[in-house]
A = this chain, B = another copy of it.
């Protein structure tokens, strides 16, 4: 009974996603204590529980980056205006949204500096100093930091003036090497999303309209959220030698001739936490993939006033904490039912219940967050059972998300059909495209859809462009996006 009441009370607190998806999202962010607003325009506090998720993401990615030979580095927070202006497309893309420092103490600066919106220009300035010979290549750097873009409207994790990310920046001897790096890092992101975050993604290339300012090619992974909208979840850019020329970066090649190196950059940000919420969350709150959950197992003692219960629960905690991120909630002020609802809200993948009867039978109960499946487990095989169930959670939420994406992905071969789907069915639309900007703009204007990517896995849906009817060049995923 008290369990039911407790549950009810907590659940009432969230707006159901069917009622108001945006409100459901911010309710979770707020009630799971991930992030909070501040008095600084567009900037947020990432609270401890939210930051612990980011730290887990960082640890996994950082290990992968290093295994692939990347090194961490730290470049300045500021970019002098003249440096930002060196690459034309790049400055045009970023200048409208940077924060300018014009005064320091009492000193008015002769040249203003912006707070970095991204660090290509700083890296190029550094590369020009340190790259001399082909023997110095490749240079494989990464930086964990925050960047600032003056966004007009902001939403927790999805869009904020300051956000955290990692930005990888590499330089290579040949175009082929740089292209291989661009692809490799997109695959790292895709593998991370699918295997660790249980978020299915579509890998592809951005159209010229949607690519990064100054890049020759932008690769992207696109994920579908609960509401059918797309979230660009990670990008990897190939720059050719454009920046290298603008910044006069040269090296002596194997024939002893001066040559420009080829460049990449790639990034994943705290935005992905928004993606986790909107992919896996439900009307009871957050659902976290085990790999990045700050708490993987929450132990809730039942009838904890009875002799031996708390002792047993502590003993389990001490034993499990060597392998899992485990916490016990032994507060006597709250009922088990309240605790159940609380840790469901926080998205903890597994709950472990242990009471007097369980102890008698040398067992405990595991309850999976995402489907509330209850499993009775012998304490003799608890560790294996937990490892199995965590894997079952990962697989379960991945498959759920994949099924949803499949069900909400449509194909259109005529423009009217496309507009009709766009108006009535949230999701992705696969349709052919001639490659012309004019059609892409018309699709945006009339159907409200932007190109998400030209997927690496192409399908031949039709022979002609969905918009103009001219011969099609490629199949494109279209959608509404965050």
Contact = CB atoms under 8 A, between A and B. Distances in A.
A129 interface: yes
A39 B125 contact: yes
Contacts of A43: 76-78
A40 B78 contact: yes
Interface residues of A, number: 54
A60 interface: no
Nearest to A70: B48
Interface string A127-168: 001100000000001000110101000000000001010000
Contact of A101 (B80, B99, B126): B99
A69 to B, nearest CB: 11
Contacts of A96: 105-106
A103 interface: yes
A256 interface: no
A386 interface: no
A77 B148 contact: yes
A72 B51 contact: yes
A36 interface: yes
Interface string A27-45: 0000000001011110111
A92 interface: no
A401 interface: no
Nearest to A71: B48
Interface string A220-250: 0000000000000000000000000000000
A45 B72 contact: no
A52 B79 CA distance: 24
B36 A129 contact: yes
B39 A83 contact: yes
A164 B74 contact: yes
Given A98-B105, A100-B104, A51 B74 contact: yes
Contacts of A39: 80, 83, 125
A125 B145 CA distance: 23
A188 interface: no
Contact of A126 (B38, B41, B146): B38
Pick from A74, A77, A99, A113 the residue with the most CB of B within 10 Å. Answer: A74
A46 interface: yes
A104 B113 contact: no
A80 to B, nearest CB: 6
A270 B72 CA distance: 15
A46 B142 CA distance: 12
Contacts of A457: none
A75 interface: yes
A71 B52 CA distance: 8
A146 B148 CA distance: 14
A115 B46 CA distance: 18
A130 B38 CA distance: 12
A55 interface: yes
Nearest to A94: B105
A11 B337 CA distance: 70
Interface string A84-101: 000000000001111111
Contacts of A98: 104-105
A47 to B, nearest CB: 6
A107 interface: yes
Given A52-B71, A100-B103, 4 more contacts: A48-B72, A77-B148, A100-B104, A107-B150
6 contacts: A36-B130, A77-B146, A98-B105, A100-B104, A102-B103, A105-B150
